[in-house]
Amino acid sequence: MSEKILELTKKLLNYNHLFIKYFEEARENGTSHDFHEVIKPFANEVKIAAHEWSTLMRNWLANTSQKHLHPKQIDTTLEHMDQLSIQAFFPKTSKSRFLNANRTVEFFLLEIVKELEK
């Protein structure tokens, strides 16, 4: 189970980096992508991976004692990823809120990677 969580966590980290890339492109170009052709399929892809990850994480946390990882952090990460996967494509998205959510996701996912690679 740990290997699958690690694999999915790294996949989510990759998505998190893509969010920044798409966000910067949207801000530079000032254009937004077609919702049904680009945004929705990407957001659905992220959502599927994130939900699979959250299910495995909840099981893993229930079966191991972790001092610094909590179920609420999984919920927050899931919410942020759902929002970021859509907001990344819109140039009018609040930069500070976007970056704060992105950093929160990044921090938590990296903590999981550290814990799993011990």
What would the pLDDT profile of 60-113 be if each residue is shown by its tens digit?
A: 998 888 888 889 999 999 999 999 999 999 988 899 999 999 999 999 999 999
Length, in residues, of the chain: 118
Rounding to the nearest 10 degrees, give the CA dihedral for residues 107, 83, 13, 49: 130
CA distance 100 to 20: 11
Residue 33 has what pLDDT? 80
DSSP state of 32: -
User: In the chain, how long is the greatest CA-to-CA distance?
Assistant: 47
